[in-house]
Amino acid sequence: MSFVDVIVRKRDGHPLSRAQIDEFVSGILDDTIPDYQASALLMAIVIRGMNPEETSWLTDAMVRSGERVDLSDIPGIKVGKHSTGGVGDKVSIVLAPAAAACGVIVPKMSGRGLGHTGGTLDKLESIPGFRVNLSTEEFKAALRDVGAAIVGQTASLAPADKVLYALRDVTGTVESIPLVASSIMSKKLAEGSDALVLDVKCGDGAFMKNEAEAHAVAAAMVTIATRAGIRAEAFITDMEAPLGCAIGNALEIRECLQTLRGGGPPDLAAMVTRFAARMVVLGGVEQDQAAAVARVETAIASGRALETFARMVQRQGGDPRIVDRPDLLAAAPSRDVIHANRAGVIDRMRAGLLGRASHALGAGRSEVGESIDHAVGLVVLARRGDRVEAGQPLIEIHHRDGRGLETARALCEAAVAIADQASPIRPKFLGEIRAS
Amino acid sequence: MSFVDVIVRKRDGHPLSRAQIDEFVSGILDDTIPDYQASALLMAIVIRGMNPEETSWLTDAMVRSGERVDLSDIPGIKVGKHSTGGVGDKVSIVLAPAAAACGVIVPKMSGRGLGHTGGTLDKLESIPGFRVNLSTEEFKAALRDVGAAIVGQTASLAPADKVLYALRDVTGTVESIPLVASSIMSKKLAEGSDALVLDVKCGDGAFMKNEAEAHAVAAAMVTIATRAGIRAEAFITDMEAPLGCAIGNALEIRECLQTLRGGGPPDLAAMVTRFAARMVVLGGVEQDQAAAVARVETAIASGRALETFARMVQRQGGDPRIVDRPDLLAAAPSRDVIHANRAGVIDRMRAGLLGRASHALGAGRSEVGESIDHAVGLVVLARRGDRVEAGQPLIEIHHRDGRGLETARALCEAAVAIADQASPIRPKFLGEIRAS
């Protein structure tokens, strides 16, 4: 059977066999299948879909295209966490040490990626000296010592996914539930965790705008994990407004420190507690949800979460003094403020536009390898549902000598809507999917 | 708008604008749109379709990608003819001189193509000396003198179609009504005829197996022509069994000569008369269908059609003596015969398998530029509906020293089905589409 016949099968709406999917994945990696055939098949997959079996086979083939981290010689249940990403999403940075402080092993790998704001790795790199590129041995040693480590994915994980994603990006074939789910899960499965907590964000500031799609991706990811023998739970969470108040790398680390001290914005703290509690259950530390929540709350209240974070920072080469002295983090030289143009209730605080504003200031990157400014960003001072007076400060802009300020101001102004009456706000937690 | 957005529009089922289609066609020709983007868009077009407006724009953009033959300085209405091709389809070779003998100008251009058996150009080249590669000036001079000429399409006609077709061929994106119709029509419109008779074949021996699809392609082609200001009529004709009895280049020229003399297989003669009559009407020679048929019948009965053929052959460098001496055509040194394995009625005589048998003998080519054997082929001795005795000769195999004979015998045997009772035979003419 020639590869054109494989394309035609999917074009005509038929499922592919495991062998055909294996041929596809190995063929794009060793270049025996040309890009123009791969992109035709990708488009057919986007429009015709893939069933759960095909999606699992695709994921597995991408996992097998590279190395798989072997964490089996580290005692305990390793529980990973992944978020599809959003504006102000700093959950992992608080969550990993909080769960580790409860006795869970948290091997967290992040992709570098592009985006409105920096990613988890960029945020951590705003800590002086922090290294995200640990070798596998260093990573495992950190996990043994601290219980948590957050590092960059190595290029050897699921290399087929990288090739496929690059092609999808330029051929209009990104938006596909099986392709999105298998792309994420190929890397997660290669990371070698025993269990996973997945956060699928949806709304203005997320990759997925649509709640139904987010549910579908979450369900597909849990199914892939289950078929691969990994326990996984997925949450669908709101990303209409930013998570927490800080957007921008060092600003977000400051907010993480507040949250690890038991303060921080309530939405961020609630999300950390909920995810950490599930990791405590999946990690076998507690059987009961209420006990798991109590354990997490204690870990934070007792200072053990913050202490674990300090050890994680130190173990990865960062300056642990920042824990007590956030002033050692980079700070932008200049500030500007967006004020309320009328009195009323904050009706919208659109995450997507705020993310673009932060990007305009220099906090994110448009191209791989571009450098970013760790100091700049935004701090949201008034949140959805808050009643404000005309002229009240709404958003603080941290900028470097006016770079991107005009654009950022315009985007921030567009992001805010003030109404006479508070309209209903969608809850942060929109759904939860566990393997049946 | 980036080209990815164009792909996404079609992926999501929206129509493309004229400017987007123009960008696509010029981009594939000047290589500013990479193949992997073009193939993703092609797959989206195959699955999502194109409306008549988009299909016309695509055709027009492909016409404008190259030269357009200007026949305006040749007096009279120029009427072209095109067939989607079938086994034993030699209609054009009889039709062009027959219509020209009635006073129609018939500028016939053919593609070389690949196929089971040789194409029209290969059949004509079995006439010693016959040249199909006339310059435009030679072509026009032949049209002025003889009224008919059959030549190869030059590479300058619709070059974008060639690039697109090559890509479609390797990406599973051939089967699409708008793409098939626009591909054919881009070349037909570039040939500069004022009117067109189109023969869309369907069945075992044709590109289109399905009658509904053939109707849809025929309708799309007529719509494209109408929007381009060209009068066109399309016929949907059966290709379950071969057309006429001869399959193979010189063998088919012999059958053409018989038909031009008023003999020949009835199905072939009927098709020539019907198409030629429509060309006589479209060419403005007769208003009335019955008068047109009478004129065609007279042209053949009087010998003027044969005489026009002889002049066409001579004008294109061929040896006109073949008209009276078919023995000057190549003949295969050896013959073999397939016999009926039982008594009964011929129920099937599958054109596709007979085409492959002829190909196995050397009458067709698998790759561009391959040489073919003009002498070999098949002659069908008993046709669908005929009552035969066991052992009666059914198919004569003309081969060269046994080359491909084993395969050809097996295919011929598989092509024939003999039943107790005659089952209904689909008529040759399945439908007709004229611009409304």
Secondary structure (H, E, C), chain A: CCHHHHHHHHHCCCCCCHHHHHHHHHHHHCCCCCHHHHHHHHHHHHHHCCCHHHHHHHHHHHHHCCECCCCCCCCCCEEEEEECCCCCCCHHHHHHHHHHHCCCEEEEEECCCCECCCCHHHHHHCCCCCCCCCCHHHHHHHHHHHCEEEEECCCCECHHHHHHHHHHHCCCCCCCHHHHHHHHHHHHHHCCCCEEEEEEEECCCCCECCHHHHHHHHHHHHHHHHHCCCEEEEEEEECCCCCCCEECHHHHHHHHHHHHCCCCCHHHHHHHHHHHHHHHHHCCCCCCHHHHHHHHHHHHHCCHHHHHHHHHHHHCCCCHHHHCCHHHCCCCCEEEEEECCCCEEEEEECHHHHHHHHHHHCCCECCCCCCCCCCCEEEECCCCCCEECCCCEEEEEEECCCCCHHHHHHHHHHHEEEECCCCCCCCCEEEEEECC
Q: Is B167 part of the contact surface with chain A (CB cutoff 8 Å)?
A: yes
- A290 falls in which pLDDT band (50, 70, 90)? very high
Q: Cβ contacts (< 8 Å) between A170 and chain B: which residues?
A: 4, 34, 36-37
**Average pLDDT for residues A256-276, to the nearest whole number?**
97
- Say whether A11 and B43 touch across the interface (CB within 8 A): yes
Q: Which residue of B has its CA nearest to A34?
A: B36
Minimal CA–CA distance to A48: which of A87, A96, A15? A15
Contacts of B406 (CB under 8 A, 6+ apart): none
Q: Which segment of A106-120, A375-389, A409-423, B24-38 scores lowest on mean pLDDT?
A: A106-120
Q: What is the DSSP letter of B14?
A: P
- Per DSSP, the three-state class of B116 is coil
Q: Is B292 part of the contact surface with chain A (CB cutoff 8 Å)?
A: no
> B142-168 pLDDT, tens per residue?
999 999 999 998 889 999 999 999 999
pLDDT at residue A117 is higher than 70: no
Shortest Cα–Cα distance, A34 to chain B (Å): 8
- Token pair 């099986």 is found at A178
Contact B15, B51 (CB under 8 A): yes
Q: Which residue of A has its CA nearest to B35?
A: A36
Rounded distance, CA B405 to CA B378, Å?
A: 11
Minimal CA–CA distance to B42: which of A44, A346, A321? A44
Q: Is B40 part of the contact surface with chain A (CB cutoff 8 Å)?
A: yes
Side-chain half-sphere exposure of B232, counting CA atoms within 13 A: 27
- CA–CA distances in Å: residue A106 to residues A75, A147, A197, A221, A283: 12, 6, 11, 19, 9
Side-chain half-sphere exposure of A27, counting CA atoms within 13 A: 20
| B358-B363-B368 Cα angle (round to 5) | 125
pLDDT at residue B115 is higher than 80: no
Percent with pLDDT over 90 in chain A: 92
H/E stretch holding B156: none
- Per DSSP, the three-state class of B387 is strand
- Say whether A7 and B38 touch across the interface (CB within 8 A): no
> B325-377 pLDDT, tens per residue?
999 999 999 999 999 999 999 999 999 999 999 999 999 887 777 889 999 99
Shortest Cα–Cα distance, B42 to chain A (Å): 8
Dihedral angle of Cα B221, B222, B226, B232, to the nearest 10 degrees: 120
**Average pLDDT for residues B393-421, to the nearest whole number?**
97
Contact B223, B56 (CB under 8 A): yes
Contact A179, A173 (CB under 8 A): yes
pLDDT at residue B75 is higher than 80: yes
pTM for this model (two decimals) = 0.89
pLDDT at residue B177 is higher than 70: yes
Shortest Cα–Cα distance, B1 to chain A (Å): 13
Packing angle, helices A52-64 and A159-169, rounded to 10? 120
Residue A313, pLDDT score = 98
